[in-house]
Amino acid sequence: LDEPWDSEHNLPLMKEIPFPYQSKEAPEGHTRVQLPVLADDGFWGSEETEWRKVRDITDGTSRTVFAFQTPVEAAVPWTKPADFVVDPNSPLDSMLGGRERALVAQFDGSVQNTPESATNDSMRRNLTHSAGD
């Protein structure tokens, strides 16, 4: 547990990717499931932000994004501690990456496609945890 994700000992684990992280479109050992980091106000914040707790979600766990399926080109090795940095000016567009829809997991455990009615403004609200929306 004290070795980096890409150490000689840990690299073979890339072939043992758990089912929830697999994607037929991604390279072997890579995942498209990532945390969306909205640096200025999202639940995950930035690296400098203190870790928040689920109880800090005052906007509702069913309305706050936990993770999502990134565009194929954003896939990363599943063992790599990497997050998807969301463009704060166009969060939905950056998360979709040219796709029409994306799978999104909420903090209440539900998973669904982004609704057709989603906008950059609505996605920004869903990435925040305590904005009163």
Q: What are the pLDDT digits (tens) for 7-26?
A: 999 889 889 999 999 999 99
Residue 114 has pLDDT above 70, yes or no: yes
CA-nearest of 23, 3, 26 to 81 is: 3
Paired with 69 in beta bridges are: 33
Dmax over CA atoms of the chain, in Å, equals: 46
- 131 token code pair: 């904005």
pTM of the model: 0.85
Q: What are the pLDDT digits (tens) for 37-95?
A: 886 666 566 555 567 788 888 888 999 999 999 999 999 999 998 989 999 899 999 99
- 123 token code pair: 């996605």
Four-residue CA torsion sign, 84, 89, 91, 92: negative
